[in-house]
Structure 1
Amino acid sequence: MTILTVTAKGQVTLRKEVLQHLGVKPGDKIAVDVLPDGKASLSAVRPKDALKGFIGSLHQPGERARSLEEINQAIRDGWAGKR
């Protein structure tokens, strides 16, 4: 568990390991869902239709880069609802 401190202005700074876990970097957005019993859930906001959200989405760390044919097939599969 990570403990954070609230400033006098009501601000909280997320620790580096939390940001890495969420996969966010400066300029990205984080969504906060308020839950019952004084709890909240954080998640990274990912653009759904933006090109920025697609770039790099097929790459998996430790695997080789995909060929253009493989990328095109992934696009076709996505439009067909297979992914």
Structure 2
Amino acid sequence: MASLKITMKGQVTLTRDLLQHLGIKPGERIDFDKMPGGELRLRAARPAGTIENFIGRHAGKVKTPITIEKMNELAAAGPTYKR
């Protein structure tokens, strides 16, 4: 079990091996669930895609038609966010 130190601001820094275990990269988010007995469950936040995000991603960018296979590939990849 990993043990982490709480800063004076009440913050925690997760170690690299914990982030890798969760599959989290810099800039991504973590979801927490409060569990009974003062426990927390955390997992990598996976944004849910919307059709608006999918369409907006390609608005004005696609000059030639793409195949249904390419559309399926793009849809499976999910949304991309620029921060």
Ranges in structure 2 where 5+ consecutive residues have no aligned partner: 55-67, 76-83
| Higher-RCO chain (CA-CA 8 Å, sequence separation at least 6) | 2
What is the alpha-carbon distance in structure 1 between the residues aligned to residue 72 and residue 10 of structure 2?
Answer: 47
Aligned to 2:60: none
State the SS of the aligned residue for 2:37.
coil
If the length of structure 1 is used for normalisation, what is the TM-score? 0.59
If the length of structure 2 is used for normalisation, what is the TM-score? 0.59
- The structure that is helix-richer by fraction is 2
Residue identity (%): 47
* Structure having the higher Rg: 2
> Once superposed, which parts of structure 1, at least 4 consecutive aligned residues long, lie more than 6 Å away?
none
Does residue 17 of the first structure (1) align with residue 23 of the second (2)?
no
What is the alpha-carbon distance in structure 1 between the residues aligned to residue 32 and residue 22 of structure 2?
Answer: 12
What is the alpha-carbon distance in structure 2 between the residues aligned to residue 72 and residue 25 of structure 1?
Answer: 25
Question: Number of paired residues?
Answer: 58
1:1-83 map, 5 Å: 1-49=1-49, 72=72
What is the alpha-carbon distance in structure 2 between the residues aligned to residue 47 and residue 41 of structure 1?
Answer: 18
State the SS of the aligned residue for 1:31.
strand
